Structures are given as structure tokens and as C-alpha cells.
Amino acid sequence: MEAASLPAALELVAGGGAGLSPEKRAALGASLLLLQRDYRFERVWFWGCIQGVRGAYYIAEGLGPDRAAPRSRLYSLNCVEWSLLPPATEEIVAQAEQLKGRFQGDPSFEYEYTEINAEDAERLFEDGKEFMIKEETRLVATIDQIDRAVGIIPRGAFVKTPLGSVHENRNFEGLSLTEAKKLSSYFHFTEPVNLKNKTLLEKALLDPSTDFLDSLEHDIPQGSWTVQLEKGGTVVVLRSLLWLGLTFYHVPMTKQYGYIYFGTGEKNLDLPFML
């Protein structure tokens, strides 16, 4: 969610139990502005918090002019000092998927591979690498997984130019209350997958400038999102049941929207059996 509107946004998502102490809010309010200045980001989003056994990681994302470009991610243990994370690669994500259990809260903590096939073991041995992975690497992969799976925006909030870059839509004034209650009105803010499989007839009904992302209505498994009205029906709140702790909010007929994650960084693998 937008760093500048963080205090008000946290109040809108507080219904799910997510929140920060007054001290953390004050520290974030000051440090995120300095972060934007020092790294020369055009915008800074407060992504959320991954709670470990012995500490928590507070995550921020820096954006440039092209909103679809890879985002710079940073983490802090105290909401004051920030460290830049390396970009997520397919290899890092594949390694992290083998790890189970809670985060420790220590970036230098090392996990051992408990299950590794012979081919991967031989490759690591040839590269001179040990069968270890640092928690900082796991953090990179987990943030990327959550962003790809449940990082969402309202339909029309961003537009794609003919040159392929993505920018905020200055004409976006929010969804109507009727539209805001539909999953089809929200898009995954990542590279589309299902959109490429649509037929030419289906694509002909879409606006290429706004409908260039995958909507939530076809997410698998079905029922992995809850849609609720809160604050007397003035705020629409979506919560992910696949990544518990992800909360998205939108105030209909306004430009106020955003998502935030407060959780343990563990995927709810039991969801298909719970629906």
C-alpha cells in the first residue's frame, strides 16, 4: 500500500487483526520518506510484515516510472534501517519451495536441504556450493511468490501504453460499489498467464489498455478469496485464503486502494481440503 497514506490504510484493513504499534507507524512514516529520497524511487509501497519466531521482517517496495517493471524490495528489522534484497530468480524460488516451517527472523540463519534429489545434489557439488540456503534468500523468494499469487489491483487503476509500459491511470476514480463486490473487477499485478489462453473472440471484448492482466475470477482453487463489506459498507475488503494474512482494500468511488501482508510467510497448502 502507498507509504504516504499508510496510517489511514492500516485503519481500513484493521478488521482482519493486522496492524502496527504506534511506535512502528511513526518509524515507518519517517524512514519510508527517506528511503524514497535516498534510492530515488518514484513511489514507495509498504508491502507488509513477515513474522518470524525470533523477529519480524518489515518489507517495502520501490517503484519506477514503469509500474510493470521489476520492483526493488527492501527489508528492515526495526522499521528504521533498510537493506536492499537481491532480485528473485527461478533458481532461488525453486530452492525456497523446498523449505518448510516458520521463518526465524535472522537474515543470516542457514537452512539445510532436508530433501534434495541426486541431480540437484550433483550440480551443487560441481558448483562448489553447500546444501545450505540463507533465510534472506528464502525471504526474497517468499515475497516474490506472494506478490505473483495475490498481489492485486482494481480494474482500470493502471493503463498500458502502446509502447508496452504501464502507468497509473489518472482518470481512475474508483469502482462502483456493485463492481467492487465482483472478483472480476480485480487483477493480478503480475505477468498474465490465463490472458494468453483466451480465444480471439474473448479478447475482442477486452480493452487492451486496461484489461491486460489476469482477473481473480478464474483463480485456482475456486473460493480462495473472500469479499466483505466493512466500515458500514463503505470499504470492500478482499482476503486471501491461500496466503493467509494478505488483505486488500478499496473504497468505492475513490482512488483509495492497496494491499498489505501480515503473516508467517507460509502458504496454506490445506486450502483445497478446506473448501
Q: How confident is the model at residue 124 (pLDDT cuts 50, 70, 90)?
A: low
Mean pLDDT of the chain: 85
Clarify whether residues 99 and 42 are in a common domain: no
- Of 34, 32, 40, 37, which Cα lies nearest the Cα of 4? 32
Residue 258 clears pLDDT 70, i.e. is over it: yes
Most confident of 1-10, 51-60, 185-194: 51-60
Clarify whether residues 175 and 254 are in a common domain: yes
Residue 115 clears pLDDT 60, i.e. is over it: no
Clarify whether residues 5 and 67 are in a common domain: yes
Clarify whether residues 63 and 100 are in a common domain: no
- Of 44, 4, 27, 16, which Cα lies nearest the Cα of 249? 16
In a domain, 124, yes or no: yes
Mean pLDDT of 25-51: 91
Mean pLDDT of 222-249: 91
Residue 185 clears pLDDT 80, i.e. is over it: yes
Clarify whether residues 125 and 213 are in a common domain: no
Clarify whether residues 260 and 244 are in a common domain: yes
Least confident range from 21-30, 109-118, 183-192: namely 109-118
Residue 217 clears pLDDT 80, i.e. is over it: yes
Residue 271 clears pLDDT 90, i.e. is over it: no
Q: Which pLDDT score is estimated for 130?
A: 55
Chain-centre distance for alpha carbon 229: 22
Domain endpoint, select from 97, 115, 150 = 150
Q: 3-class SS at 200?
A: helix
In a domain, 208, yes or no: yes
Cell matching residue 231? 466500515
In a domain, 273, yes or no: no
Domain count, the chain: 3
Full-model pTM: 0.86
Domain endpoint, select from 48, 64, 85 = 85
Phi first, then psi: what are they for 221, rounded to 5°? -75, 155
Q: Which pLDDT score is estimated for 11?
A: 83
Cα–Cα distance for residue pair 228/223, rounded to 1 Å: 13
Most confident of 4-8, 16-20, 108-112: 108-112
Clarify whether residues 110 and 125 are in a common domain: yes
In a domain, 269, yes or no: no
The better pLDDT of the pair 68, 259 is held by: 259
Residue 252 clears pLDDT 90, i.e. is over it: yes
Q: Which pLDDT score is estimated for 47?
A: 93
Clarify whether residues 197 and 251 are in a common domain: yes
Domain endpoint, select from 99, 120, 150 = 150
Mean pLDDT of 78-93: 91
In a domain, 69, yes or no: yes
Q: What is the pLDDT of residues 195-207, one digit of tens each?
A: 666 666 666 667 7
Structural domain span for residue 258: 152-264
Residue 134 clears pLDDT 80, i.e. is over it: yes
Clarify whether residues 90 and 145 are in a common domain: yes
